A and B are shown apart, each in its own frame.
Chain A
Amino acid sequence: MTVQELPGAGAAYRPAPPPAWRPRTDPAPLLPDPEPYRVLGTGAPLDRALMLRLYTELIRGRRYNAQATALTKQGRLAVYPSSTGQEACEVAAALVLQEQDWLFPSYRDTLAAVARGLDPVQALTLLRGDWHTGYDPHEHRIAPLCTPLATQLPHAVGLAHAARLKGDDVVALAMVGDGGTSEGDFHEALNFAAVWQAPVVFFVQNNGFAISVPLAKQTAAPSLAHKAVGYGMPGRLVDGNDAAAVHEVLADAVARARRGGGPTLIEAVTYRIEAHTNADDATRYRVDAEVAAWRDHDPIQLLEAELTSRGFLDDSAKKAAAEAAETMAAALRERMNAEAELDPMDLFAHVYAEKTAQLREQEAQLRAELAAHENEDEGER
């Protein structure tokens, strides 16, 4: 049969649905609002203690980003993907989770891990280059910072699914960038999560660019949050620089997952103020005016202005937050300036639960090489 002979070809051909077919859900309630959700500046009631916590963490986060960037200039870090401008997302993601919940960060989400309680130095081993994941993921329930794009998303689904099968109250929050939403793993993770009704929150930080590629070249969807509808989960769009709004939207989604409501996809619209990493030249793909406009919509300034006008924040509280951040930065600097302690034999330590004969041989070879070097050094002395 040729195409012309196919029934209905040429005319607008729609296969008739089989008799039992029903749309699974009315898509309307799943669709995101067209405008990003905002709280600051709307006069909505605010939880003072929570806002001050967010504020303190934002200040600390920005200082952390600045310090880590400085460390790359001194050669102490191989690379650092800064989240300056995106701190509201990072901090809210960490604060919204309970202790038993799991965070699945990408390489840009060091701050979220630190805000969740991870040792700032342990969070940087990947980027310093002394080990890949410098922490035990079980300890803080933070998965390894993930470098391949979107591949951590199915992990979050599997973990949340496993926890639910065991009857545990655990929600997984998985972070990904706008570019990462084009990967197959993003699609597969959302689909699995929706089919299994897994307690997962997918949190996209749309910071405008995947390295140099703008969102318009990444997707033709009306928004990234719209992608949720096709999987049968709600999508929400939020102003990623409005810490109160991000926290609220994430908290709603986490609560929904916790009570068995299934996954949610959240797109936070934000902006990466720095280059992709210190190795990137952002002037090649974006103009200063755009960066300046986003600087005027800064997450810290937005929250600070709101809290000050409400009388939640005075100069002494501001000073205290700044000082705490400075103390953290000084300690980080000092610890990162110490040489990393490395044991070459660690190369073989964690490949398998038990070393294979092949690895034992290679271990012996390296040990002999090291011993020979040591003897040479002694001889020279």
Chain B
Amino acid sequence: MTTVAAKPATMAQALQRAMRDAMAEDPSVHVLGEDVGTLGGVFRITDGLAKEFGEDRCTDTPLAEAGILGTAVGMAMYGLRPVVEMQFDAFAYPAFEQLISHVSKMRNRTGGSMGMPLVVRVPYGGGIGGVEHHSDSSEAYYMATPGLHVVTPATVEDAYGLLRAAIASDDPVVFLEPKRLYWSKAEWSPDAPTEVAPIGKAVVRRPGRSATLITYGPSVPVCLEAAEAAKAEGWDLEVVDLRSLVPFDDETVCASVRRTGRAVVVHESTGFGGPGGEIAARVTERCFHHLEAPVLRVAGFDIPYPPPMLEKHHLPGVDRVLDAVARLQWEAES
């Protein structure tokens, strides 16, 4: 293997590379979806795969999400490893029936004899100025379905590592791609021995002592920025990037909260019935005696995703995170 020196790469390139490497290594890996072939996907994540591996391995399907995922189920039954692309978060909904009734349950209903080693890639979340139906954060729906893994990268390196892990997984993985991070860059070398994050492991992105920001996907950079800004107030914030919503890494999260005694969950999905409620409850159940304050949530408003000209008011930004941190009753400590 020739080693490629680290140079700036985007998350989009890392995702493409992950599929390419997986397809090169394992002939059973197939990519399918709308416009994934000749065009390389509307975000160009599958760019060049059809050319390199042929249309049978990277297939432009008819425009039908249930059909795409449903046929992928049959392909997985026959020993292939389909990687399905849903064009946008809100266009994955027609495929929910297949996802919930079959993809997530097949191993269980067949007593373990028929796994579903497939990946559903969903570009999700807002912040790119998309019009209606192009910015949903649908993670709570997926999280509520036993049998699925739900992961979401926040860095270029994780985009590669987690997608490789997802494709290698013998269980179905809903792979949520924070689309506003597609063009985020990092010095990255695909051939350097990067540790492929095992699914289910959170990571401390920034150590700190004052409070823990628990977050994932598109909100990770927001939290890192907030942590930098918080230094001015004398707060030293720890940022935990979950990477995997299912399985949930209670260990890393709780170890952090026990150290800091305070926690804020940050995500752009709605707060009511959203992932933050589950996370706050878990943290409270496990760390109650270590908590100096209630676990707070900073989430998107409980509204349908707003039109693009208003989305900046909806998306939790640095200020909202800092406001929440300020509400963690600091006086109690001093």
B178 is an interface residue with CB less than 8 A from chain A: no
A159-B74, A162-B74 given; A154·B250 CB < 8 A: no
Specify which chain B residues have a CB less than 8 angstroms from the CB of A162 in the assembled complex: 74-75, 77-80
A153-B70, A184-B66 given; A351·B107 CB < 8 A: yes
Stretch at the interface among A187-195, A208-216, A265-273: A187-195
A188-B62, A352-B147 given; A154·B71 CB < 8 A: yes
Specify which chain B residues have a CB less than 8 angstroms from the CB of A349 in the assembled complex: 111-112
- A191 and B67: CB pair below 8 A? yes
A138 is an interface residue with CB less than 8 A from chain B: yes
- Pick the residue among A136, A166, A195, A358 that contacts B113 (CB under 8 A): A136
Stretch at the interface among A91-99, A143-151, A220-228, A255-263: A143-151
The secondary-structure label for the interface of chain B is: mixed
> B64's closest neighbor in chain A, by CB?
A188
- A161 and B74: CB pair below 8 A? yes
B256 is an interface residue with CB less than 8 A from chain A: no
- B67 and A192: CB pair below 8 A? yes
Kindly provide the distance from the CB of B106 to the nearest chain A CB, expressed in whole angstroms. 8
B3 is an interface residue with CB less than 8 A from chain A: no
B177 is an interface residue with CB less than 8 A from chain A: no
- A137 and B110: CB pair below 8 A? yes
- A155 and B94: CB pair below 8 A? no
Specify which chain B residues have a CB less than 8 angstroms from the CB of A156 in the assembled complex: 74
B56 is an interface residue with CB less than 8 A from chain A: yes
> A158's closest neighbor in chain B, by CB?
B74
B157 is an interface residue with CB less than 8 A from chain A: no
B33 is an interface residue with CB less than 8 A from chain A: no
Kindly provide the distance from the CB of A341 to the nearest chain B CB, expressed in whole angstroms. 13
> B107's closest neighbor in chain A, by CB?
A350
- Pick the residue among B67, B101, B171 that contacts A188 (CB under 8 A): B67
Kindly provide the distance from the CB of B23 to the nearest chain A CB, expressed in whole angstroms. 13
A306 is an interface residue with CB less than 8 A from chain B: no
A346 to B109 Cα, complex, angstroms: 11
A155 to B73 Cα, complex, angstroms: 6
Specify which chain B residues have a CB less than 8 angstroms from the CB of A170 in the assembled complex: 78
A144 to B106 Cα, complex, angstroms: 9
Specify which chain A residues have a CB less than 8 angstroms from the CB of B108 in the assembled complex: 132, 350-351
Specify which chain A residues have a CB less than 8 angstroms from the CB of B111 in the assembled complex: 131, 133-134, 136, 346, 349-350
A151-B101, A153-B70 given; A163·B248 CB < 8 A: no
A154-B73, A154-B74 given; A353·B110 CB < 8 A: no
Kindly provide the distance from the CB of A236 to the nearest chain B CB, expressed in whole angstroms. 23
- A154 and B98: CB pair below 8 A? yes
- Segment 313-352 of A: residues with Cβ below 8 Å from B: 346, 349-352
A190 to B251 Cα, complex, angstroms: 47
- A352 and B107: CB pair below 8 A? yes
A136 to B102 Cα, complex, angstroms: 16
B72 is an interface residue with CB less than 8 A from chain A: yes
Kindly provide the distance from the CB of A57 to the nearest chain B CB, expressed in whole angstroms. 26
- A195 and B114: CB pair below 8 A? no
A304 is an interface residue with CB less than 8 A from chain B: no
Specify which chain A residues have a CB less than 8 angstroms from the CB of B102 in the assembled complex: 148, 151, 155
- Pick the residue among A165, A185, A357 that contacts B56 (CB under 8 A): A165
A358 to B249 Cα, complex, angstroms: 9
- Segment 161-187 of A: residues with Cβ below 8 Å from B: 161-163, 165-166, 170, 172, 184-185, 187
A163 to B28 Cα, complex, angstroms: 11
- A161 and B64: CB pair below 8 A? no
B247 is an interface residue with CB less than 8 A from chain A: yes
- B107 and A356: CB pair below 8 A? no
A40 is an interface residue with CB less than 8 A from chain B: no
* Chain B window 97-134, contacts with chain A (Cβ cutoff 8 Å), 1 for yes, 0 for no: 11001100111111111110000000000000000000
- A148 and B101: CB pair below 8 A? yes
Specify which chain B residues have a CB less than 8 angstroms from the CB of A144 in the assembled complex: 106, 109-110, 114
A192 to B77 Cα, complex, angstroms: 17
* Chain B window 235-262, contacts with chain A (Cβ cutoff 8 Å), 1 for yes, 0 for no: 0000000000011101100000000000
- Segment 212-249 of A: residues with Cβ below 8 Å from B: none
Specify which chain A residues have a CB less than 8 angstroms from the CB of B113 in the assembled complex: 135-138
- Pick the residue among B67, B74, B101, B147 that contacts A160 (CB under 8 A): B74
- Segment 132-154 of B: residues with Cβ below 8 Å from A: 146-147, 149
A132-B109, A358-B248 given; A192·B101 CB < 8 A: no
Which residues of A are at the interface with B, using a C-beta cutoff of 8 A? 131-138, 143-144, 148, 151, 153-163, 165-166, 170, 172, 184-185, 187-189, 191-192, 195, 346, 349-353, 356-358
Q: Provide 26 A-B residue pairs closer than 8 Å at the C-beta atoms, listed in order of the A residue.
A: A132-B109, A133-B109, A148-B101, A151-B97, A154-B66, A154-B74, A158-B72, A159-B74, A159-B77, A165-B30, A170-B78, A185-B70, A188-B66, A189-B67, A192-B71, A350-B107, A351-B146, A352-B107, A352-B149, A352-B171, A353-B107, A353-B171, A356-B248, A357-B200, A357-B250, A357-B251
Extra inter-chain contacts (6) besides given A153-B70, A154-B67, CB under 8 Å = A132-B108, A132-B109, A192-B61, A351-B146, A353-B115, A358-B248
Which residues of B are at the interface with A, using a C-beta cutoff of 8 A? 30, 56, 61-62, 64, 66-67, 69-80, 82, 94, 97-98, 101-102, 105-115, 146-147, 149, 169-171, 200, 246-248, 250-251
